[in-house]
Structure 1
Amino acid sequence: MWEYLSKFAVSIVADWLGQFYIRKAIVQKVLLDNQNVPEFVMAFLPIMGPLYVSLNARQLVFLKNSFLFHDLYKSIFGSRRNLGQKPRPWQIDLILYIIHLAWFEIVDFIYLKFGYTCKNIEFLYLTNLFNNLIPLVLDVYAIHYREGNWLAYEDACMRCWSDLFLQFDRKNYKRAPIMFFSDIFYWMETGHPIINMIIDHLASLSDCPVELFHSIVRRHTTNSSTAQQLRSTAHLIYQQRHNNDFQQHFVHSVKYPYSPKQLWALSQKCAIEILEMFAKIYRAPNQNYFVIDSSNNINTYKLLSLGYEITDCHLLRGFVTLKKPDLNILCDSTYCNYSNDLSNESILAWGMVTIVIAYRINNLNVLFI
């Protein structure tokens, strides 16, 4: 092993803690020349685990919008059914997937009614959640990563960081993507061959097998197990890896509780409830919110039609900047003199509306989303 590590690099795909202590040891060796840190530590390349990016993103979306998800869950499964304060990951996936199916069915009707430049706070909150965040957290691992699409995965990770982890001040994971992209950009700039390996073999760099093994160990141990007991159990399970019982943990299939037809039926019930929410917003366009608190440039809003309390962090990126979108005018461009011209309008990903003609006149370029 020592000889191998002296010649080759080893990628360590791990969660925050799995990366943190390895990076700390590398810093101690490189910057402080700590002789207690062995040389082989320099062969390790810690990489942000995609599975934990997805899990943290989904959990964060649920926790920060739990009031909405609880209402939708009751409307879908019945008023007596409770989702719980800490639902299991498969329950979070289920409600997110049902909402995603429902939104896909009605999104065109919603924008046909409200238009693409509606700056109603309640409308922006719901559309940002349904149109941006939920598809993002569902696709970052299951689609972009597993199909090995580096460009899509890179973009999704960046959006998870900017729209979720950083915006909601997620512990640890507001920093993990920064370290990941710092390494990636450095390898790109220096032309390091590791970047080609990551791009070409993205799907093979997974922390899923390790997490599955950890799950098996947890099933055979208790919370009071000592470190030695955990180590012994892990060795025993690994030695039995060729036994049929061990393999069943990986190949045994569990029947999903809902068929595609049932999921479609549930999504239709969800779509009806979402349409009711937008109908409430449409009936009271001028009395939809008021600010109940403001601190550190972050406002807390009371949504009158929906009955929820949200902050600027629940909205598009523009609301967490020093210059927030102006809800009383159409165009947020400083140079625009055509605020009443509705013929060439478009809305940016960060929530600010601009008019194409304003940018043509001032010779400015902008990427429209």
Structure 2
Amino acid sequence: MEFLTVHDYDKHIQNQQELRSMKYSKLVNFILHSLHNTKDYIESANILFEIFENIEQKDYLNNFIILTICDWPNQINLRRAITLKLNKKDNSEISSQILIYHNLFGENKILVQKPKSRLIDLILSLTFYEWKNIRNLIINRFENIKDIEYLTMIDLLDNSLPFTLKIYTKLFKCRIYEGYLESIVKIWVLFQRLQRHNYNKAPLIFLSNVFYWTLNEYPIIDILKNNLSIFNDYFVENFYSSLRYQTAESNTNIQIIQKAKVIDIERNDKEFKNAFINVRSTKFSKVKLISLKKKISLFLLSLFDKIYHNLGRTKNNSDETIEFPSFNNRIMDIRVLPLI
């Protein structure tokens, strides 16, 4: 209960809070670019190369990996740039530094040319904990009934919910590498079942790279295993969210860049924060948490009671939809059904 009051759902991750701290992040530059095609990505990569070539340490790019701009989920434009450089060599007018990423994909690996295209956390956590408390009661009442509504809810509460809660907060942040890989496979199954475009490809691309690095004993695989939690784009996403919130579509490129620099200065100016920013507390009292726990238990019990009284009333409307009577006859996509 003490951990829930400060949005910390697992005592094992208390020491990992620095992973999401912006205290040591610093904006080097902010550049606007369209990023619509391979040419745009090459130009953006060249900007990064120029920055790292000008730092004091010589041959930095020959000894270290740097982040670059990639299109999600499979970095197709970066792969195309590498392929162009390899095929046309100096005639491509592409910086040779682009090849530092070639080892990540593998020299003999096929580069795909045309790939197919804090309150919620609290409620989910409380739902998971309360479900564990009443699960046996529900299971004993339904026994071996194979009703589709019932099985869908069991699958959601037994599989999808705990998996969603632990993949980042426990497995990733606590650097449980093998468990994280297993969860990536599970999340791919979930995305594939729901036919989430791009999301159903990204896990496979990640696993493909990991297996390739492991098979060829690339040094990066040991770095990934021992430092899983540092492969985190939170800092970029956090900064981008702040910038998007504080700018408008009518702002010019110069105004957006200036605002980005102001945000960066404000982040590191404690006096400014204390003077102009109201600090919001994310703590919940034990009384409120206990009340929420009771409400969630009552909701789950009420829901399963409704499902019990609607056994056998589920309707198949077509090959793609199904009607759930316990959810006010809501039409559901068959993709949400459990794999049984």
Q: Under TM normalisation by the shorter chain, which class is it?
A: 0.5 to 0.7
Please point out which of 286, 292, 303 is paired with 2:317.
292
Change (3 A) 1:45 1:274: farther
Alignment deviations for residues 4-48 of structure 1 (CA, whole Å, 9 cap, x no partner): 22332235598827955444433443467572332222334899x
Report if aligned partners of 2:74, 2:202 keep a CA contact under 8 Å in 1: no
User: Is contact 2:174–2:229 with CA below 8 Å preserved after alignment?
Assistant: yes
Looking at structure 2, the residues matched to 215 and 275 of structure 1 have their Cα atoms a distance apart, in angstroms, of 38
1:26 aligned partner: 82
TM-score between both structures, scaled by the size of structure 2: 0.68
Matched letter for residue 25 of structure 1: A
Q: What's 2:61 paired with?
A: 5
Matched-pair contact (CA < 8 Å) for 2:323–2:332: yes
Determine which of 154, 157, 160 is the counterpart of 1:130: 157
Cα RMSD of the aligned pairs, angstroms, is 3.2
Question: TM-score, normalised on structure 1?
Answer: 0.63
State the match for 2:142 in structure 1.
Answer: 114
Size of the aligned set, in residue pairs, is 267
Residue-by-residue CA offset, 1:87-144 (whole Å, 9 max, x unaligned) = xxx34334323322331221121122223x5421011110111111111112111111
- After superposition, the Cα gap between the structure-2 partners of 1:98 and 1:149, relative to the gap in structure 1 and judged at 3 Å, is same
> Does 1 or 2 have the higher relative contact order (CA < 8 Å, sep 6+)?
2
Q: CA deviation at 1:188?
A: 0.9
Q: Classify 1:182/1:102 alpha carbon distance in 2 versus 1 (closer, same or farther; 3 Å).
A: same
SS of equivalent residue, structure 1 residue 16:
coil
What does residue 146 of structure 1 align with?
173
Say if 1:180 and 1:32 are closer, same or farther in 2 by CA, change over 3 A. Answer: farther
Aligned 8 A contact 1:11 1:46 in 2: no
Q: Which of the numbers 207, 223, 227 marks the counterpart of 2:253? A: 227
Instruction: Establish whether residue 16 from structure 1 lines up as the match of residue 72 from structure 2.
Output: yes
Map 1:107-256 to 2 at 5 A.
107-115=135-143, 117-163=144-190, 165-238=191-264, 242-244=268-270, 254-256=280-282
- Structure having the higher strand fraction is 1
Find out whether 1:264 has 2:290 as its counterpart: yes
Aligned position for 2:125: 97
**Equivalent AA in structure 1 for residue 306 of structure 2:** K
3-state SS, counterpart of residue 184 of structure 1: helix
Match among 288, 292, 301 for residue 322 of structure 2:
301
Equivalent-residue separation in structure 2 for 1:254 and 1:46 (angstroms): 45
Q: SS of 2:315's equivalent?
A: strand
CA contact (8 A) 1:14 1:46 kept: no
Structure 2: distance between partners of 1:212 and 1:114: 45
Alignment of 1:354-365 (within 5 A): none
In structure 2, list runs of 5 or more residues that go unmatched: 1-51, 54-58, 105-117
Identity %: 27
Question: Secondary structure in 1 aligned to 2:197?
Answer: coil
The equivalent residue for 1:60 is: none
The code of the aligned residue for 1:303 comes to F
Q: For residues 182-224 of structure 1, what are the alpha-carbon distances to aligned partners after superposition, in whole Å with 9 as ceiling and x for unaligned?
A: 1111101111110110011011111112222223333443222
Give 5+ residue unaligned stretches, structure 1.
48-89, 318-350, 352-369
- Any conservation in 1 of the 2:306–2:326 contact (CA below 8 Å)? yes
Task: Give the conservation status (yes or no) of the 8 Å contact 1:301–1:311.
Answer: yes
Counterpart in the other structure of 1:81: none
